[in-house]
Amino acid sequence: MTTIKDIARIAGVSVATVSRVINESGYVNTDTRKKVEEAIKLMNYSPNEVARSLYKKKSKLIGLLLPDITNPFFPQLARGVEDRLQEHGYRLIFGNSDENEDKELDYIRTFVQNNVIGVISSTNFPDSDTYLNLNIPIVFLDRTSNESPSVYADGREGGRIAAQEIIARGSKHITILQGPAHIKPAQDRFQGAVEVFEELGMTYHVIQTSSFSYIEAGYWAKILFEQHLETDGVIASNDIVATAVLQEAHRLGKSVPQDVQIIGYDDIPLSSLLSPSLSTIRQPAYDMGREAGGLLIKLIEQDKVDEKIIQLPVSFVERETTRRK
């Protein structure tokens, strides 16, 4: 078995120097470090457990980038990531990009400067140079890009289910609220819903929205009924917008679900507390977070990971804003 003395001899340095390199403590000049690292590689040397734990301790930090922590979907994701990582002794730091590419780049830089050994990112810009140039493991969460490791829910299927359920429950004049164009999961669920209408040859209306903001949600809800007062079924872009639609329907004296059925998306915690409680397409946010944490740990700890792309199923949660079938 190779010992630290062997490495020191091979590299032509003292044992103390090798120890400093392994533990990343104290100064070692670049050339010397290189020599030691090459010796370690050559000998396939595995430092003893104490040294290893010291080494690992320093580097068990993971960065998690979220696009918008004020959207209740993302804190659920974050809790899943956090719980899974903590069970394995990893620690987490968060960044909030506010869906701004510059802010995102700045957070990724901060993560790297702070020696994170992996990144989980719910980015709107998975194909940007930021990620291409990052030479540590990355998992995209609630996002996906080509063959990159990623964990996401099946948005297209979610959109299909929403359309099928609202049609099966008797709505004839259905309006789809299309989520922000730059958020791919929002477009996936929209496309899924549209597919069903096209397959059935049914007409439908679309209201385009540009954000998931709470303030604007009320605005989209007003526009919806102004443009399509006959609407008796709404497929909302997420639960926040669905909540605003429910409020606007009540304001207009419409009964939910008798006059208008509403289906949300996400199943944020407050959905079940609304009155009537919100029927919605559930994304398993907490589980998605856990899966992303698990995948990242594999990428860090294992040489080869077979299943790098994990798609989780979505499901219809029947509550009170839809009628019985």
298 binds a copy of itself (CB under 8 A): no
Quickly list H helices, the chain.
Answer: 4-11, 15-23, 30-42, 49-58, 73-87, 101-113, 129-132, 155-168, 184-200, 214-227, 239-251, 285-301
Which among 15-23, 36-44, 105-113, 124-132 is the span making contact with a copy of itself, rule CB under 8 A? 105-113
Closest CB 19 distance from a copy of itself, rounded Å: 17
Q: At what angle do helices 285-301 and 73-87 cross, to 10 degrees?
A: 40
Query: In this structure, which long-range contacts are made by residues 296-303, counting pairs with CB atoms below 8 Å and at least 24 apart in sequence?
Result: 296/62, 296/85, 296/118, 296/120, 296/137, 296/139, 296/149, 297/84, 297/85, 297/88, 297/90, 299/118, 299/137, 299/139, 299/149, 300/117, 300/118, 300/137
252-291: contacts with a copy of itself (CB under 8 A): 269-270, 272-277
Give whichever of 75 and 158 is closer to a copy of itself, judged by the CB atom: 75
Which among 118-126, 130-138, 188-196, 237-245 is the span making contact with a copy of itself, rule CB under 8 A? 237-245
Could you say which of 2, 4, 55, 103 contacts a copy of itself (CB under 8 A)?
A: 103
Could you say which of 3, 145, 247, 311 contacts a copy of itself (CB under 8 A)?
A: 247
Which residues are paired to 310 by β-bridges? 151
Return the SS3 of 209: coil
Closest CB 244 distance from a copy of itself, rounded Å: 5
DSSP state, 269? G
- Rounded to the nearest 5 degrees, what angle is found at the Cα of 103, between the Cα atoms of 120 and 177? 75
Closest CB 230 distance from a copy of itself, rounded Å: 21
Asked whether 182 and 124 are in contact (CB, 8 A), the reply is yes
Closest CB 146 distance from a copy of itself, rounded Å: 29
Instruction: Compute CA 27 distance to the chain's CA centroid, rounded to the nearest angstrom.
Output: 39
Binding mask 50-69 for a copy of itself (x = CB under 8 A): --------x--x-------x
Give whichever of 24 and 195 is closer to a copy of itself, judged by the CB atom: 24
42 binds a copy of itself (CB under 8 A): no
101 binds a copy of itself (CB under 8 A): no
Could you say which of 18, 117, 235, 240 contacts a copy of itself (CB under 8 A)?
A: 240
Omega within 30 of 0 (cis) for the link into 180:
no
Distance from C-alpha of 78 to C-alpha of 289, rounded to nearest angstrom: 6
23 binds a copy of itself (CB under 8 A): no
Residues at the interface with a copy of itself (CB under 8 A): 27, 29, 58, 61, 69-70, 72, 75-76, 78-79, 82, 86, 91-96, 103, 106-107, 110, 113-115, 214-215, 217-218, 240, 243-244, 246-247, 250-251, 269-270, 272-277
